[in-house]
Amino acid sequence: MTASESPAVPAPGIRLPSAPPLALLLDVDGPVASPLTRDVKPDIILDLVALAAAGIPVIFNTGRSDAFIREQVMEPMIAAGIPAGTVIHAICEKGAVWFSYTSAGPGPVHVDRELAVPAAYGDDIRRLVAENYAAHMFFDETKRAMVSVEQHIDVPSADYLAEQKLFDAEAMELMVRHGLGVVRLDHHVPNSDDEVDYRVDPTIISTDIESVRLGKDLGASRAVELLAAQGITPQAWRTVGDSRTDYAMADWLHHNDHPVKHVDVRPADGVPSKPYPVLTAVDLGLEATVIHDDAGGAFLRAWREALGI
Ligand SMILES: [Mg+2]
């Protein structure tokens, strides 16, 4: 534990539920769920419950569906014992979908329909996967706004990544055939009105096809709104992710004057220069080889210790 990673701890006896010393905004695949098994280690579930029970806002900001969060995170947390009155927020599909849950289960699921990929395009992608790519990947039927196609767990990563390139190219072509402007990384294919409305975003385990208005920054703004609706203004934020796109959480918070540090649990892509502190497992005194949910779990444990929870 370094000095730079010690959140301000309230003086003993002072209870400020409306201004907790920290709020956690967590990407799920990578820092919380293993990218190999796709599930969450029991120790991480226990740490999440302990932090939330102590009044530290725990908010997930993921590209995953609400169904995935219910199964992999909410149900194990409820089984571990969320105290009455504790609310967990989950922002799913990169800000297009969100819901909150308590020990009693999930509240209503909200969907911003304006941010959804056209259903006819989604149907064509489902057919494309079934006909040409079913050996390597599957169509995620739980998404409400995005279209996501994911690697089968038993397919070797290198095989998947090679096949993913072919799939991504076909997905781009299909966008053009639907008259939709699309971008993949630095490859722009605007529609006839010279607009780009959608993006194809490949990750190490999936390809997401989504409105360009979705992103971890949208999720961060929703997180601040959800806490504000509860009368909660955190003194500081920690954002945690394993991808370059996850920095958008901290970018947005910093830009909007919320004190933030970002934790990168897979810094192999290089740590960009940012106007806020960026932490990795090395800042906890761990080896640089500690990544993904091993690093995410270590940070959760470090925050528990620093806060005396
Ligand atoms: Mg991730």
pLDDT, tens digit (0-9, with 9 covering 90-100), for 40-83: 999 999 999 999 999 999 999 999 999 999 999 999 999 999 99
CA of 143 from ligand 1 middle (Å) equals 16
How high is the pLDDT of residue 3?
Answer: 44
CA distance 179 to 192: 7
CA of residue 280 to ligand 1 center, whole Å = 15
**Mean pLDDT on 184-207:** 84
Q: pLDDT tens, 264-291?
A: 999 998 999 999 999 999 999 999 999 9
**pLDDT band with cut points at 50, 70 and 90 for residue 19:** very high
What DSSP character marks residue 195?
-
Q: List CB contacts of 233: < 8 A, sequence separation 6 or more.
A: 18, 19, 227
Please, what is the end-to-end C-alpha distance for the chain in angstroms?
A: 15
Residue 90, pLDDT score: 98
Instruction: Check whether 88 has a pLDDT greater than 70.
Output: yes
CA within 13 Å, CB half, 51: 29
Cα 265 from Cα 288, distance rounded (Å): 10
In the three-class reduction of DSSP (H, G, I as helix; E, B as strand; rest coil), residue 100 is classed as strand
What's the pLDDT score for residue 7?
65
In the chain, what percentage of residues exceed pLDDT 90? 87
**Confidence at residue 12, expressed as pLDDT on a 0 to 100 scale:** 52
Mean pLDDT of 223-250: 97
Q: What's the half-sphere exposure (Cβ side, CA atoms, 13 Å) at 35?
A: 22
> Residue 22: left if φ>0, alpha if ψ -120 to 50, beta else—which one?
beta
Token pair recorded at residue 149: 């196609």
Confidence of residue 2 (pLDDT cuts 50, 70, 90): very low
Q: What single-letter amino acid sits at 278?
A: V
Question: From CA 242, how far away is CA 131, in angstroms rounded?
Answer: 32
How far is ligand 1, taken at its centre, from the CA of residue 192, in Å?
A: 33
- Supply the mean pLDDT for the chain: 93
**Is residue 111 exposed (0-12), middle (13-18) or buried (19+ Cβ within 10 Å)?**
middle
For residue 255 the two structure tokens come to 């830009």
Distance 15 CA to ligand 1 centre (A): 34
Is the confidence at residue 1, as pLDDT, over 70?
A: no
Mean pLDDT, rounded, for 121-131:
98
Confidence at 191, pLDDT banded by 50, 70, 90: confident
Q: How many angstroms is it from 173 CA to the middle of ligand 1? A: 26
pLDDT in tens, 129-166: 999 999 999 999 999 999 999 999 999 999 999 999 99
What confidence tier does 185 reach under pLDDT thresholds 50, 70, 90? low
Q: Where are the alpha helices (DSSP H) in the chain?
A: 42-53, 66-69, 75-80, 119-128, 157-177, 216-229, 247-255, 292-307
What's the 14 CA to ligand 1 centre distance in angstroms?
36
Q: How confident is the model at residue 13 (pLDDT cuts 50, 70, 90)?
A: very low
13 CA distance to ligand 1 centroid (A)? 37
How many angstroms does the Cα of residue 267 sit away from the middle of ligand 1? 12
| CA dist., res. 15 & res. 60, Å (int) | 25
Q: How far is the CA of 89 from the centre of ligand 1 (A)?
A: 17
Instruction: Give the Å distance between the CA of 61 and the centre of ligand 1.
Output: 10
Residue predicted with more confidence, 133 or 8:
133
CA-to-CA distance for 151 and 287, rounded, in angstroms?
A: 29
The alpha carbon of 151 and the centre of ligand 1 are apart by a number of angstroms equal to 14
| Interval between CA 72 and ligand 1 midpoint (Å) | 14
Q: Does residue 182 contact residue 199 with C-beta atoms inside 8 Å? A: yes
CA of residue 177 to ligand 1 center, whole Å: 30
Task: Please state, for a pLDDT cut of 70, what percent of the chain lies above it.
Answer: 93
Burial of 306 (0-12, 13-18, 19+ CB in 10 A): middle
- Compute, in angstroms, the gap from residue 58 CA to the centroid of ligand 1: 16
CA of 28 to the centre of ligand 1 (A): 6
> 35 CA to middle of ligand 1, Å?
8
For residues 19 and 142, what is the distance between their CA atoms, to the nearest angstrom?
35
Backbone φ/ψ region at 69: left (φ over 0), alpha (ψ -120 to 50), beta: alpha
Question: Ligand 1 centre from 302 Cα, in Å?
Answer: 20
Q: Is the pLDDT of residue 9 over 80?
A: no
Q: How far is the CA of 202 from the centre of ligand 1 (A)?
A: 11
Span from the CA of 91 to the centroid of ligand 1 (angstroms): 13
What tokens does 302 get?
A: 């470090």
CA–centroid distance, 105 to ligand 1, in Å, is 25
